[in-house]
Each structure stands twice: as C-alpha cells, then as structure tokens.
Structure 1
Amino acid sequence: MMLPWDYSIPLLVIGGTVAFYWQQVLHMARRQRKRTGKAANLVPPEPLGRLLRLLWAPVIVLWMVLPLSAAFWPNPPTAFAPVHSFHGIGWICAAAVVGGLLVTRRCWKQMGRNWRMGIDPNEKTSLVFEGLFAYVRHPIYALSAGMMIATMLALPTPAMLIAGTLHITLLLWESAREERHLVATHGADYQAYQRRVGRLMPRSLRPYGRV
C-alpha cells in the first residue's frame, strides 16, 4: 500500500533537511579543526560534555532516520506508528524545519570563528550580540527545538516523541551549562546580557545594545 504523497513528501523534506543540517555541522567542525586544531569541541574535553554527546548522538540519528523511513513505511509497528493524525499539517511542519535551517545558517555565519559545539573550560571565545543574538541568548538552540517540535507534529509516533523530548531536554541542559561557563569566562559582560535578553525566547523586541 502506498502512503499518500501529501504525507510522505513533507516527511522526506524534513528528514532530508535535518540530515543536511547535521552534515553542515560536521563540515564546520572539520573546517574549524583545520583552522585551529580543534573541531569546535565536537567531542568536548570535559567528561560531562562527552557523556552528553553519547546520549545525544542516537537522538540525532533518529531525528534523521525516522521521518525518512516513515515516508516509505505504510504499516509500521506500534512504536513507529503515529498516535494521532494532524491532517494537512505536514507541509507547514516541513516549511518550519526548512526555515529553521536557513535562519540557523545565518546564526552560524554571525558566530564565525566563535562557533562551538561544546564547552572547553580552558577556552574563551568572543561574545556575539548581533543578529538574532540581540534578541535571544541561544537562538541556535531555540531554532533546533522549534525544528524538533515541527518534526514531532508531522510524525507523532512514540519513537519520535521520545527522541524529541530527549533532544529538547538535552538542549535545555546544555544551554544551562554554557550559561555557567560564559558567566565564569566573561563575568559582568555576560551577566548584563542575561538581564536584558531571554535565554531561548525574546524578552523584548528592542535589540540588545540599544537604549
């Protein structure tokens, strides 16, 4: 039995976009390694960071594989079968995921040489306040959470819902750890930024730095 195209195509778009997203992350890490000798802390030097990578890696794989496989899987077992059908929402979710990637690429560009994937306690990077960073302290994490929520709505299977919940939980945990590191390395400058700008959601439409 063939699945309806208006169900399958959005899932293919979502899975392909997520796969491209993480291919870009690996490409940037390799480029950073050539430039600095460090792969942007893809494998963090601190033990907790490495543990989080081990937990996170299978979640990322599921995020790519589940939508792609669901597009061709008409009769999956319960763990991979949708628990609810949001009719017609697939295209909206696919557009949200593609949009999230495009805006994330802009954030990567704004971070430039300061882009990192993990924490090195002995490294101090420059703070970035431009673009979306003027409104949200962790826009890349916020966008990633939004992309995952869109994926969960397009494919509300038990496996995808569990993977999505884990991903968002790990994003919140990692952003909190980064906050402590940035306060430790930048002190009052970052604390002033914290007071004015929300961690994952904007507190104001006025960008940071403007009175």
Structure 2
Amino acid sequence: MRKYLIILFVFASLQLWGQKDIYESVRFDELSAEHSTLAIIPFFANLDLEQELSKEELGRLEELEGKAVQDALETYFGRGKKKKKFSVEFQNVENTNALLAQNNINYSNIDTYTIKQLSEILQVDGIVSGNIDLNVLLSRGVSDEVSFLDYLLGDANYGRIGIKISDGKTGKLLWKYENEITKKSGRNTTDLIDKMMKKMTRRFPYDKERKKTRKRT
C-alpha cells in the first residue's frame, strides 16, 4: 500500500511540475523599452460545461468569463499601482471597452483585429490578452476544498489559462504565461488571478524589482 501511495505522490508531483510555463521573447527589453501604458482586453473563453446550453447562452457565458479575467487583472494591477510596483500603467478597462465599442469592436469580432490595430485604436503601447478554458463558471465562485479522491478522478481540474503581452508597434509576442486551473487555484476569477500573479511576481516582466535585478546582472 505504501508503495502505491509513493507512486501516486510522484505522479501527482510530475503533473504539478508540468502545469505552468513561461515564455519571454529575447527581444523583450528592446521592444518594451518605451512602453508606458498597456491595455487589458477581454480574454477569449472556452466553456466545456456538463449542462446543455443553446449557442447563444454559451456565448453569453463565455463573454462573462472572459471579461471577468479582464476585470480581475485590472484589480490586481490596480493594487500594484498604489504601491508603485510596475514600470508601466494599465489602461482603465472601462475606457478600453468604451473605445472598443466606439469602433464597433465587440467580444464576437475582436479576434478579427490585429494587435497593432487594437493598440492604435486604444492608443497604448501594448496589449494584455489571453485565453481561458473552463469546465465550471469560475466567475460565480467554486469550492476550494480538495480531497485526494478529487485528484485521482480528475475532479480537481477546472481548466487552463494563458496570459499574453504583445508589443503594440510590431504585434510581436513579448511574454506568455500558462497555468492549469485547479481547486487550489482560487475560489473565483479574482482569487485565481491574485494568487497566480503573486506567485510569479519576480517573473512578471514589468515588475520594478525584477527590472532592477536584471540591470545588476
């Protein structure tokens, strides 16, 4: 029995090890040198829910989940702004969404615009975007209690999230972070983003402390 428990522990550890990934362009410093303001756009959400839903209702819920991530990131970056934690400003999402609407850009057609086009419309230096795949409605809140059986049955996994930062002038991908979403990730979208970003503070490219460290090396 003990042997099987050890095997299961190793297996679980390997799963957790492969759950997150960070990419940073070798040209990040060069392309972001003059960045002062970034815009956070609604995330593209993909829901795989147990209940049967109409195409319209599914689309509505996906938009809600995508905008919940946008709001959660603004909340997190807003806290950092008060502490002067970041080297860039983040455009208010109400202004972002208003500018998008004024240009007839909505959740259903925003993917037809390039990063360069969106940056020009929003008058920013870069875009924060991404994807979130979920099998629950995270924005409504979920249980964060986890049992060993949940891991064995796969019921502890809620999906995956990817956050990207792209340069406005070139449209180039500068930085990307991907991570699994589990019951331990957070009770709702705001909690998820807060925990996730705090864990990788020194690896976020616009963190002032990280920039100081890079200059010393």
User: TM-score normalized by structure 1?
Assistant: 0.29
Higher helix share: 1
User: TM-score normalized by structure 2?
Assistant: 0.28
